[in-house]
Amino acid sequence: MVIWTVLPPGLRQKTRPVAALDYWLKSALRAFIGRDVFNAVLIDRRPEARTEDPVGQMVAALDAGASLILFPEGQRNASPEPLLPFKSGLYHLAKARPAVDLVPVWIANLNKVMPKGEVIPVPLICTLTFGSPLHLAVDEPKEAFLDRAMAALLGLHDLEARPG
């Protein structure tokens, strides 16, 4: 939600967050916000219950002209580490659509602005730092790409943490 709100209105209309189906369909209000306000690409995190391939869902949204907001960790980070390991979906998306710009964005103060379980941001200061687009290199292994993507995001965190 925080990234979506800083986008210009024209871009916001075609930008869709990729989000957990179980979270956004938990209540009628969340379902309305997820489906009708954000037009989220809802991913079932239970592989045994899926009726759609998550990467296929994201590719279909891109092919329909959408931009996507996704969190490659796959879940909210409650650890003291700045990032959790990335799930493989980012790699598979990059492999399926190698021309798509994958722009890392660091959100400082996110856990205070969007506490776990909240749907509406708390009016506190946070900053977003946008990095340079990433692309999958030819024949780049999954682990190398995910490590490079994590390093790019951590580099934005390091920029944010520097004084002045």
Query: Which residues in the chain come in under a pLDDT of 50?
Result: none
Tens digits of residue pLDDT in 75-101: 776 778 888 999 999 999 999 999 999
pLDDT score of 79: 75
Q: Which residues pair with 16 in a beta bridge?
A: 68
Count of structural domains within the chain = 1
pLDDT score of 121: 60
pLDDT score of 93: 97
What mean pLDDT is reported for the chain? 87
Tell me how far apart the alpha carbons of residues 140 and 14 are, in angstroms, rounded to a whole number. Answer: 30
Q: How far is CA 44 from CA 11, 21, 22, 113, in A?
A: 26, 5, 7, 25
* pTM recorded for the entire structure: 0.85
Tell me how far apart the alpha carbons of residues 57 and 18 are, in angstroms, rounded to a whole number. Answer: 9
pLDDT score of 2: 75
Which domain, by its residues, includes 39?
A: 2-161
Tens digits of residue pLDDT in 24-35: 889 999 899 889
pLDDT score of 146: 98
108's CB contacts (< 8 A; 6+ apart) are 126, 127, 128, 129, 157, 160
* CA-based torsion, 45, 21, 76, 153: positive or negative: positive
